[in-house]
Structures are given as C-alpha cells and as structure tokens.
C-alpha cells in the first residue's frame, strides 16, 4: 500500500538514516559531496529525490545552495528536523515532471539523482521525462549526474527470474526480474524478535547505461564522464554500478 508519500512512508522515513549500507558511511558521503561540489562550481544544485538530506545537507554545508524535489513529505520532514534542513528549499512532487521556479535565482549548474533512485521510476517513459525535466532546469554547461546499479542480470541463473540479496536469520530480500519489461520488483521480509513480521514490496525498473545515454540524448544532453563510483575509478565491464555525468551543451 502506498499513499502520497509513495514507497517512502512515515514509517520508512523514520528508519531511513539507520541503514548500514555503504551509502551511509561518512567516507562515501564525503566522496559523493566532493564530486558534486566540484561540478556545481559557483552555481546551485537541484537534487531529484532529496529524501532526508543524506547528500543535500553536507553539500549545502560546503557552500553549494541546494534545492530538492521529492514526493515524500515524510522523508522531507526528517531532513527539516536536522541542522540546516530548514534552509533547504523543497518542491513536493514527482521529479519526472515537477518544475522548480528559477525566475529569481536562475537555472541550476548541477542536477543529481543518486542511490539508484532513477529506478524508482517504473516505466521508460517516466525515466525519459526525468532526463528532460533535469535538463530543463540546467544552465548551458550544467551537468546531470546519476548514480545507479548496472542491471544485475548476470546473477540470474538460466531458467530463473529471482535473485536473493539478503538472507539473514530474520531478514530476507529478493528481486523478481521481468526481462521483457525491465521490471525489478524487490520484496523485503523481516521477522522481529517477538515473532511479528513485516513484508514490503517496491517496484523498480532497471536501466542500462547505454539506455540512459539515449535518454540523455533525447533531453539534449551529452555524456561527459562515466565512472565506476564516486572515487572516479574507470567504468569497466565488471563495474556493478556507475556514476554518470551528462552535460548540457553551451550552444
């Protein structure tokens, strides 16, 4: 069940920052912010899916003015409760189509969409619209950055369509792939100490690097860099994820 907050309800938002994954490690956040601050230069940054401000808050502390778009008021409320959160402007809505008024402050030098969040858009049409929306907010020479997994189809054994990715004693999670539609539906199941259980399902759409390049092209952007991650190691055939930067041409 989802409401206007989408899959990031109050209950999810309350626990979001307790996650233990690499994205929440100080070093990874610093590497992310280093690259984003460099790309933003003297301009402003627009975060699509700003969430609880995991990246927006440290980026703002570096002196980059940040504005966010997010459909989940619950996630944004968590950011607002953190130091500096009240100073970050947020537009509530779908980042595939929400327009931020740039009349007063001018267009952005950077738009970014991290932590696989492009996959929250579950159709190719919506992902294309997202690229167009990001591009429309950029000044000429500005960049759009996406951090996302390389689709994990090599993990699918012949004749199967399910890949488990969490197998603890009380916690299981797996993805069900549809290689025709590119749907990747994740199921999360948790059993608490008292025996009560919780199950959640989140639909995603996996998307190939080359497909993203075509989306960028449709939006008038061109690929500037693609790395294996925030440390800027080269992207190779063995890369499990990528950080890609597309640029809006100056003329």
Ligand X SMILES: C[S@@+](CC[C@H](N)C(=O)[O-])C[C@H]1O[C@@H](n2cnc3c(N)ncnc32)[C@H](O)[C@@H]1O
Contacts with ligand X by CB under 6 A lie at 6, 8, 49-51, 54-55, 69-72, 75, 94-96, 114-115, 117, 120-121
Report the residue number, 138 or 146, with the smaller CB distance to ligand X: 146
CB of 193 to ligand X, least distance (A): 27
Report which DSSP code applies to 88: S
Looking up tokens 């858009």, which residue turns up? 121
For residue 141, give the H/E element and its range.
strand 138-149
Which residue's Cβ lies closest to ligand X? Answer: 51
223 and 216 Cβ atoms separated by less than 8 Å:
yes
Report the residue number, 72 or 182, with the smaller CB distance to ligand X: 72
Report the residue number, 11 or 161, with the smaller CB distance to ligand X: 11
How many CA atoms does the CB half-sphere of 153 hold within 13 Å? 12
Report the residue number, 43 or 51, with the smaller CB distance to ligand X: 51
CB of 60 to ligand X, least distance (A): 13
Report the residue number, 7 or 224, with the smaller CB distance to ligand X: 7
From CA 59, how far away is CA 247, in angstroms rounded? 20
CB of 250 to ligand X, least distance (A): 28
From CA 211, how far away is CA 127, in angstroms rounded? 10
User: In the chain, what are the helix, strand and coil shares in percent, each to the nearest 5?
Assistant: 30, 30, 40
Beta carbons within 8 Å of 217's beta carbon, 6+ residues apart: none
With H, G, I as helix, E, B as strand and everything else as coil, classify residue 228: coil
CB of 251 to ligand X, least distance (A): 31
CB of 236 to ligand X, least distance (A): 24
């Amino acid at each position: 069940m989802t409401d206007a907050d989408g899959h990031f309800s109050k209950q999810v938002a309350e626990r979001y920052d307790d996650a233990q994954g690499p994205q929440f490690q100080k070093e990874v956040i610093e590497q992310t912010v280093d690259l984003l601050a460099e790309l933003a230069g003297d301009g402003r940054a627009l975060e699509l899916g700003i969430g609880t401000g995991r990246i927006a808050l440290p980026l703002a502390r570096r002196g980059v003015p940040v504005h966010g778009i997010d459909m989940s008021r619950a996630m944004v409320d968590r950011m607002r409760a953190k130091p500096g959160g009240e100073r970050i402007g947020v537009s509530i809505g779908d980042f595939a189509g929400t327009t931020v008024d740039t009349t007063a402050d001018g267009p952005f030098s950077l738009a970014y969409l991290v932590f696989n969040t492009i996959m929250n858009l579950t159709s190719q049409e919506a992902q294309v619209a997202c690229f167009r929306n990001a591009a429309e907010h950029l000044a000429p020479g500005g960049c759009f950055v996406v951090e996302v997994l390389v689709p994990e189809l090599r993990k699918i054994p012949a004749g199967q369509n399910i890949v488990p990715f969490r197998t603890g004693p009380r916690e299981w999670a797996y993805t069900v792939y549809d290689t025709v539609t590119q749907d990747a539906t994740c199921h999360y199941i948790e059993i608490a100490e008292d025996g009560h259980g919780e199950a959640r399902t989140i639909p995603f759409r996996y998307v190939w690097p080359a497909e993203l390049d075509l989306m960028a092209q449709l939006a008038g952007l061109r690929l500037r860099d693609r790395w294996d991650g925030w440390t800027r190691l080269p992207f190779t055939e063995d890369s499990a994820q990528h950080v890609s930067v597309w640029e809006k041409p100056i003329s």
